[in-house]
Amino acid sequence: MRHNPELELNRVDYVGSVSLGELKALADFNVNTPQWLKPDTLALVLPGADFLSVDLGELDALFAHYRTIYQRMSFHIMRRSAWLCLSPVAMKHVGYWVGDRDTRTGMSSHVRLFETYADAGDWLLLQADELEQVKNTIGFDEIFRVEAPSRAIGR
């Protein structure tokens, strides 16, 4: 997870085979540092990423956990979470996560799935130069990282 203070935007990248443990680690980070839940977010599922080891029922439990986190927070405006899935193999899970869930009531969040950076950027109210910053992670500071052991070893 990265944050751009100038844009007040988080960017979360999903890379490779993402496990339930990695998704839970991000949720745990958010529990311990809830200030990072308030900015708008671009969740980016990069080419080749997948969630194949994650059961859809486990996503339901994780979503319920996030609902609990958000219900404890106070939002003055609706938060936006844009999802951009660039990996066809991950689309089933991303579509399920973003699908027909009520994220407005109790979570003060509006979650949408987009097909292009441009569409996500428009919805996040980004100017063309700001969208380039987002695409190239310019001005973003890493605030959290979790890697599966097999990926960490190859670094």
What's the pLDDT score for residue 101?
63
Structural domain boundaries in the chain: 2-153
Q: In the 8-state DSSP scheme, what is residue 120? A: H
Dmax over CA atoms of the chain, in Å, equals: 43
Evaluate if residue 153 carries a pLDDT over 50. no
**pTM (2 d.p.):** 0.86
**Region 130-140 average pLDDT:** 98
Say which residue, 69 or 94, is predicted with more confidence. 94
Question: Residue 84: how many CA atoms within 13 Å on its side-chain side?
Answer: 21
